[in-house]
Amino acid sequence: KALKTVRELQGHLRTLTGSCRLLIDARTKGVDFLAQIEALDWQRFAVAVEQAEVLGRPETVDRTAELIERHRTVKLFAGAFLNTFEFRGAGAVQGLLSALAIIAELYQTGKRRLPDRVPLRFVPSAWRPFVLRDGIVDRAAYELCALSQLRERLRAGDIWVAGSRQFRDFDSYLIPPATFAALHEKGPLPLAIETDFERHIEERRTRLDTAIEQVTILARQGELPQVRLDENGLIISPLKAATPPATEIARRAAYDRLPRVKITDLLLEVDAWTGFSECFIHRRSGREADDRNALLTVILADGINLGLTRMAETCRGASLRQLAHLHDWHIRADSDPIASARLL
């Protein structure tokens, strides 16, 4: 059974530390070890050891369960959040929008229970065991699942916010219909391409057919550079390196003169010069991260595409849960350009 809550984890840790403390004290005082061992609660001790072994695998801490445990915190602002913004979207996200509307109404009316029938198609498979418990929809899990999916759909552009600049409707990037109609009436549109679709696609087809015919003739005659066409198909010769050998020798000599620096130390040094880590503030409180080293570890994991799980396995001093918490609350899409600007 996987550990699901911090409180449960702390209980097992207390059992383990208490048992280990008995053995340490016995050795320090010269007391019989066997007598101290017999005094242990073996059933609790065995469960604690089993759970500690499970916890040793990074994937066992369920972030979804951890999030649901914090529903009381989310309730403090979820109602105001949902009733402040107007979310819109296409047909594929109507179930999610309906769920958000139901949740917003619960906060407005002060009701605690969800209606008997609520949209569930938007709930991912990873969330379903938490949302549906014995056939009953759990409000806390349902609400947090909807908010989580809202974040993902906003990032994907499937949902937009009325009046927002960053999360606005895709149609707002286009020429307004009235303006387009007025331009069309005045004559040809001021574009560098053919505005009539049929003529445009026909011209593109003609150019493509001509290019294919030319390539076919050259390939059959063996006149295409670095390309051969035979009974085995089209064979393209691999590209050769354009770097002269002398340049490669000089590059290696220069590289060997550089001191060996850990990338983490380099990040800390650059951050000391520029303070770019200050750009990654907390989503809610606006405060900087308390653990700068762990924050830079998360930034590094994103930068080299290593992932938080593997990064937690390879580095010391930061757990997967800690890295995931920093990633969720401090890493935002709009923070990267600000931090990059400070570096430049």
pLDDT band at 59 (very low <50, low <70, confident <90, very high): very low
**Angstrom distance (rounded) from CA 123 to CA 145:** 7
The mean pLDDT of 298-302, rounded to a whole number, is 89
Residue 166's pLDDT band, with cuts at 50, 70 and 90, is confident
pLDDT digits (tens, 9 = 90+) for 184-221: 788 777 777 787 889 889 999 999 999 999 988 888 88
Residue in the block written with tokens 């809610």: 284
Q: In degrees, to the nearest 5, what angle opens at C-alpha 283 toward C-alphas 79 and 288? A: 145
For residue 163, the SS3 value is: coil
Q: Is residue 143 pLDDT above 90, yes or no?
A: yes
Per-residue model confidence (pLDDT) at position 33: 67
pLDDT at 7: 62
Q: Provide DSSP, 58-121.
A: GGGS-HHHHHHHTHHHHHHHHHHHHHHS-EEE-GGGHHHHHHHHHHHHHHHHT--SPPSS---T
pLDDT digit string, tens, across residues 326-335: 998 998 877 8
User: Would you state the pLDDT for residue 85?
Assistant: 92
Which residue type sits at 31?
A: V
Tokens representing residue 221 in the block: 């005659």
Question: What average pLDDT does the chain have?
Answer: 83
170-185 average pLDDT score:
81
Whether the Cβ atoms of residue 320 and residue 308 lie closer than 8 Å to each other: yes
The model's confidence at residue 115, banded by pLDDT at 50, 70 and 90, is very high
Quote the CA–CA distance of 187 and 229 in Å, as a whole number: 48
Render pLDDT for 236-267 as a digit per residue (tens, 0 to 9). Answer: 888 777 778 888 889 888 988 888 888 888 88
pLDDT at 6: 54
Most confident of 62-71, 102-111, 170-179: 102-111
Residue 21's pLDDT is 78
**How high is the pLDDT of residue 10?**
67
- Confidence band, pLDDT 50/70/90 cuts, at residue 4: very low
